[in-house]
Structure 1
Amino acid sequence: MDIQYIIDRAKGIIVSPKDEWQAIKGESKSNKELIVFYALPLVVLATLAGLIGHWSLNIAVYQLVMPLLGIVVAAYVANELAEKFNSTKNLNNAFKLVVYAATPSFLASVIANLSFLLSWVSLFGLYSIYLFWVGIPVMMETPDDKRLAYVIVCALVVIVVQLIVSALFAPPMAGIY
């Protein structure tokens, strides 16, 4: 695992996303590499912060699995919907889009999970929506006139799927704070 790569990529995608998306598109990282060497370390860090802050083990396991499952679902949704929005269907680019756009959410979770008093930091995760917005024309070659609808439909489908999965598998959250 290359920690410096994670730091540099996180900084690049947050500070200069338009340039970073161009660099990302040209990279040849497999979907597995994106998850194992970028997303997983950030999710593990957020989970460890939650364990330190206030979680039980069953909640920590859930918080470790859900973001990774969310990445996979969101990437497949974005890829499968691509042609409906005159975009290029490419699963690897969809994975890159979802994984790197989620960076602010991952980083905000690390801080917010340390203490209930820091939960407001989670709002920084909303920047992920902007990164997805900026990245979708580059990664999926989405025309400007289709971008808004594509982003909204992707978000709605992913939210519905995650609500269903959460309803079925979420551990009881009572007393975690």
Structure 2
Amino acid sequence: MGLVDRARNIIVTPRTEWPMIAAEGGTVGDIYRNYVVPLALIPAVCGFIGMSVLGFSMGEGHMRMPFFSGLVMAALQFGLGLLIVYLVALVIDALAPSFGGRKGMLPAFKLAAYSYTPAWLTGVFLLVPVLGFLAILGLYGIYLLYVGAPRLMGVAESKAGLFTAIVVIIALVMSFILSLVIASLMPMPAMM
């Protein structure tokens, strides 16, 4: 299945798409190459364009991140985005047996990768920095994780909510730590 069809289906019809994903073969590398990398580029590229090329108004001036700094930030955001998906998959794989599920890195990675779809797609709002708040729509991925956990990891339906909550809390902590890393390496925008 193609990237666009998969992204649309996982968002629009997740209850029918998860069983199809579960039945597919492949490797973690295949999913990275054909799905995660192209989608993870969206927030990185859009954020770069929004902050370094277009800039944003603040008070009486127009701010823009220096071009090279913006490139470095985009590369860091992209790389850490790839890393967080793998780390979340490790968490999913480790926690599943505690919730009546089974271990398996490939299904855990599928669950993590496809659940991140809304977060990556909402990265397009970073083109216009004042619309960045609309990235909150990416929280739909929590629902995708909840629906997918029983289908991919065999998590008991009655425990899927708690499983999802714990995975999300751990993912938020990891994301916060990684965002601190990015922020510490990121220069301030320049006044134009």
* TM-score normalised to structure 1 length: 0.90
Question: What are the Cα deviations for residues 74-117 of structure 1, in whole angstroms up to 9, with x where unaligned?
Answer: 000000111111111111001111111111111001x2220112
Query: Are residue 47 (structure 1) and residue 60 (structure 2) matched?
Result: no
CA shift for structure 1 position 167: 2.9
Equivalent pair of 2:77/2:182 in contact (CA under 8 Å): no
Asked whether 1:77 is paired with 2:91, we answer: yes
* 2:109 aligns with one of 87, 95, 120: 95
Cross-structure match for 2:62: none
What code does the residue aligned with 1:148 have? G
Query: SS of the counterpart of 2:178?
Result: helix
1:129 is paired with a residue whose SS is: helix
What pairs with 1:5-44 in structure 2 (closer than 5 Å)?
5-44=2-41
Q: Tell me, which stretches of 5 or more residues in structure 1 are unaligned? A: none
**Compared with structure 1, are the counterparts of its residues 84 and 121 closer, same or farther at alpha carbon in structure 2 (3 Å cutoff)?**
same
Name 2:134's counterpart in structure 1.
121
Q: Give the structure with the higher percent strand.
A: 2
Structure 1 residues 122 and 169: CA distance shift in structure 2, 3 A: closer
Q: Tell me, in whole angstroms, the C-alpha distance in 2 between the residues paired with 1:21 and 1:125.
A: 18
- How many angstroms apart in 2 are the aligned matches of 1:15 and 1:164? 31
- The structure that has the greater radius of gyration is 2
In structure 2, what residue type is equivalent to 1:28?
G
Are the equivalent residues in 2 in contact too, given 1:101–1:132 (CA < 8 A)?
A: yes
Q: Which range moves more in the overlay, 27-36 or 53-62? A: 53-62
Deviation of 1:120 after TM superposition, in Å, equals: 2.8
In 1: Cα distance, 2:148 partner to 2:4 partner: 19
Alpha-carbon separation, structure 1, partners of 2:190 and 2:76:
13
| Cα-Cα RMSD | 1.8
Question: Residues 162 and 117 from structure 1, CA distance in 2 versus in 1: closer, same or farther, beyond 3 angstroms?
Answer: closer
Are residue 158 (structure 1) and residue 171 (structure 2) matched?
yes
Decide whether the 8 Å contact of 1:54 with 1:176 is kept in 2. Answer: no
Q: Which amino acid aligns with 1:134?
A: V
Q: Tell me the distance in 1 between the aligned counterparts of 2:95 and 2:190.
A: 37
Q: How many residues align?
A: 173
Conserved in 1, the CA contact under 8 Å of 2:142 and 2:168?
Answer: no
Unpaired runs of at least 5, structure 2: 53-69
Range with greater deviation from structure 2 (142-151 or 67-76): 142-151
| TM-score normalised to structure 2 length | 0.83
Matched to 2:133, the amino acid is W
Matches within 5 A, 1:105-116: 105-109=119-123, 111-116=124-129
Identical aligned residues as a percent: 31
Determine the C-alpha separation between the residues in 2 that align with 1:129 and 1:63: 21
Q: Could you list the per-position Cα deviations for residues 129-157 of structure 1 after superposition, in whole angstroms to 9, with x for gaps in the alignment?
A: 11111111101111122112211111122
